[in-house]
């Protein structure tokens, strides 16, 4: 099992989300199952089947989150080296195909959120940028094709 490096904020969010699913999420599913049981014959009860499926999906999500939580390690960002791209660094890159610049923060998969420009270190772009220094070019295969990214800036 691989280690998930996280910010203190990401760790706390994961912890609270997991607790919410274990408490309110399980309560809601249990109520849905109980309501469906009251409606009679379980062999032909679509609501019961849907509630049991929702319960299975909830437990799967809880299990996945517990695995991430168990392997999570909080990183002190002040101890990071910004001479190379690493997890939790902000990296400004220029897409050499269209000259567009964008800044990403490389994070663990559990913290990834493209709207916030946080990309996973295990994503194609995140993985391709790891270990690069300012001035380096990373050639990355993306679903849109091969893209060359030039590292402009690395910061915290």
List, for residues 23-53, the tens digit of each pLDDT value: 999 999 999 888 888 877 766 778 888 889 9
Q: Is residue 34 helix, strand or coil?
A: helix
β-bridge partners, 154: 91
Rg of the Cα atoms in the chain:
21
pLDDT surpassing 60 at residue 119 = yes
Helix axes 46-71, 8-20, angle to 10 degrees: 150
Mean pLDDT of the chain: 88
Domain parsing of the chain, residue ranges: 4-74, 77-155
pLDDT at 1: 54
pLDDT surpassing 90 at residue 81 = no
Residue 40 half-sphere exposure, CB side, CA atoms within 13 Å?
4
Spelled out in words, what is the top-level CATH class assigned to the domain 4-74? Answer: mainly alpha
β-bridge partners, 72: 4
Classify domain 77-155 by CATH architecture. Answer: Roll (3.10)
Write the DSSP symbol of residue 153.
E
pTM comes to: 0.67
């Amino acid at each position: 099992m691989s280690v998930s490096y996280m910010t203190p904020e990401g760790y706390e969010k994961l912890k609270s989300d997991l607790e919410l699913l274990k408490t309110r999420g399980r309560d809601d599913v249990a109520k849905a199952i109980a309501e469906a049981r009251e409606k009679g014959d379980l062999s032909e009860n679509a609501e019961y089947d849907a509630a049991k499926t929702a319960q299975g999906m909830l437990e799967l999500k809880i299990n996945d989150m517990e695995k991430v939580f168990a392997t999570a390690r909080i990183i002190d960002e002040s101890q990071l080296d910004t001479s190379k791209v690493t997890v939790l660094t902000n990296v400004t890159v220029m897409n050499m195909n269209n000259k567009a610049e964008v800044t990403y923060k490389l994070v663990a998969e559990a913290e990834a959120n493209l709207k916030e420009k946080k990309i996973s270190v295990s994503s194609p772009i995140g993985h391709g940028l790891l270990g690069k220094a300012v001035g380096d070019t990373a050639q990355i295969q993306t679903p849109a094709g091969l893209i060359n990214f030039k590292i402009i800036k690395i910061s915290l």
